Structures are given as structure tokens and as C-alpha cells.
Amino acid sequence: MDLNGKRFLVIGGAGLIGSHAVEELLKEDVKEVIIFDNFARGSEENLELALKDPRCNIFKIGGDILQTDILDAAMKDIDGVFHFAALWLLQCYEYPRSAFEVNMRGVFNILESCVKNNVKRLVYSSSASVYGDAVEEPMTEDHPYNNTTFYGATKIAGEHMCRAFYHRYKLPYVGLRYMNVYGPRQDYKGAYIAVIMKILDRIDSGLPPIIYGDGSQAYDFIYVADCGCANVCAMKSDITDNFYNVGGGIKTTIKELAEIIIELTGFDGEIQYEPAGTTFVKNRVGSPEKAKNDLNFTAKVELRKGLVKLIEWRNSHIEAVNKRRAKA
């Protein structure tokens, strides 16, 4: 899609990935970007920079994807939709029926509204959770669904609803499977990236970082602004009815992650190891090749540089970090 002069609706645009996608979208010659968010997890503070642009505004009537008449009103005359709104992994674990309502019925509502309002393209946020633990590395998009969680189940269902709507109603879409997203504006609710904030909390208090287990759990960490770029690339693309990994393809253990943070902060101490707790996935690294070839997307921010940016944001937003910690 040519983005010039187009109007876009960003559902969940006040959240971590959504707010960065909005900023990347505003770098294009778009006509308008409308944020549709209920602010259950996102915040207007995340949109502080974006809202300085007169082309960007919050849909004031509402932002709940379960309220279909309000959703339809927001979709009127929209060219492209980005969908980020979802309950997160641990919330789905604790409240599976709510997971169904928001992550499945909510997605159906969005798809239905896109068709009703003749939206030209949808970018759907899926997750690497659909893969579960890696059966092979790196995980290509053909990796089997090895998921065992309610969250992953809702994302799989969302993917297949997108596919069904495309084949039934010809709604063009692309789905993005994010690896472990981290960066400025992150909170404590991500099951795998919250460890970064908790390590920094411990270091701020002069205490050693805690790792549960031996630290061999390994993931593919992707900087959040890169995820924003991936969404814009997906909207620009003519590819449809396909899913893509969004990651760097680099394997980093939790032990290595902690060691990098210790080095960057200058902490004078050792890692403290504790018995392993509940871990949904122990190993997950995705192949970035398909996204590179089809969407022209390549992650640009390597982990060390991204962590520096996160630490700088954290140090300059102490009040916001304290609010996020209190909500955890």
C-alpha cells in the first residue's frame, strides 16, 4: 500500500509496540493516524511525542474492541488498520475466559468491521508464542504450533480468523509474530522481558540480579522501535495472507542478558541464582529471513545498544517506571 495521504487506525496504539508503531507511521506522508485504545495497559504518556503531530489524535468516543458500534465509528473512511490490543500472557493464564473475549472475539470484531468499512489492509499482531518451545532452530514461519498456553492459543485462533476472512471476504492482511520485545515504555507485565526491569530494580537497590534456574533459557530479543518499523513495512507491502517473524535471529541466554546489564550499569556484584519457577518457554529464537525477503524488514538495533536506550529512558522517567511497577 502507498501510505501517502492515507488514514490509519491503530488499535492498542497507546501500548508498548503500538506507540512506537505510531511514531514510525508518522514519519511517512500519511493524512491521519487515529489511536483506538481503552488504556487498560497503554497510556497517554506513551503518546506524548506522537500527539505533538497534528495528524495524530485519540478517538475520544471510546477504545474497547468489544464495543462494536464504537469500533465501526472509528473505522469509517479508514484505509489501513494496525491491531495491537490484547490481554498479555500471564493475564490470559489467570483469566482464560477474558482471554477468549478480548483476544478472540475482539479480533473477530475487528475483522468484521474492516470488511464492513472496506478497509484496504490490516496488520495483525500475533506472537512467537504460537510456536511454544523450539523444536528446531532457528524457528522459521513453518515451525509447528507447539504452544501450550491460553495466550498462544488465542493468537493461533486470531491468525486463522485473519486467513479465513481473507479467503471469504478478500480482506488483505499480514500477521507479525514478535519475538521478545523490549525497550523504552515497557512495563513489568511481559512474562519474558519483565526480567530486564526487575534486574535493573535490584541493581538500583544495590542488590545482585536474581536469575531463576541456571540462566540457560534463551530468547530472541527485539528492540521495540524495530517492531514499529516492521509494522510500517508490513502495511507498505503488497504481500497478503502470510505471517512473519519479527526478531533479530540472535540467541541470548538470560545469564548473558544479566551480564550485559551488569556491565552497562557498572554494578559491582555477581548474579544470584534461585530455584527455577514457572517458565512457559525455555528456548525461542526465530529466523528473520522471510521478513527480510518479503517485507524488506531487518532489525537494526542490537541488544547492547537497545539496553542502553532502555536504561536511559528508565533513568529519565522514574515516575512513569514507579507507576508501572505499582501496577505489576
In which domain, by residue range, is 236 found? Answer: 7-179+223-248+286-300
Q: Single out the residue of 251, 15, 3, 282 nearest to residue 125, CA to CA.
A: 15
Average pLDDT, rounded, for the chain: 95
DSSP assignment of 183-194 equals: STT--S--TTTH
The domain that holds 108 is classified in CATH as 3.40.50.720
- Determine, yes or no, domain membership for 314: no
Spatial separation of the C-alpha atoms in residues 52 and 41, rounded to whole Å: 21
Number of domains in the chain: 1
- Determine, yes or no, domain membership for 188: no
The runs of H, that is alpha helices, within the chain are 16-25, 68-75, 89-94, 96-100, 106-116, 150-169, 194-204, 224-236, 254-265, 289-295, 303-316, 318-327
Residue found by looking up cell 487506525 in the block: 9
Q: What is the pTM of this model?
A: 0.95
- Determine, yes or no, domain membership for 184: no
Q: What is the mean pLDDT of residues 304-310?
A: 97
- Predicted confidence (pLDDT) per residue in 75-91, tens digit: 999 999 999 999 999 89
- Determine, yes or no, domain membership for 194: no
End-to-end CA distance of the chain: 39
pLDDT for 190 beyond 80: no
- Determine, yes or no, domain membership for 127: yes
Spatial separation of the C-alpha atoms in residues 192 and 55, rounded to whole Å: 34
Q: What is the mean pLDDT of residues 155-174?
A: 98
- Predicted confidence (pLDDT) per residue in 201-242, tens digit: 999 999 999 999 999 999 999 999 999 999 999 999 999 999
Q: Single out the residue of 252, 255, 260 nearest to residue 308, CA to CA.
A: 260
- Predicted confidence (pLDDT) per residue in 287-301, tens digit: 999 999 999 999 999
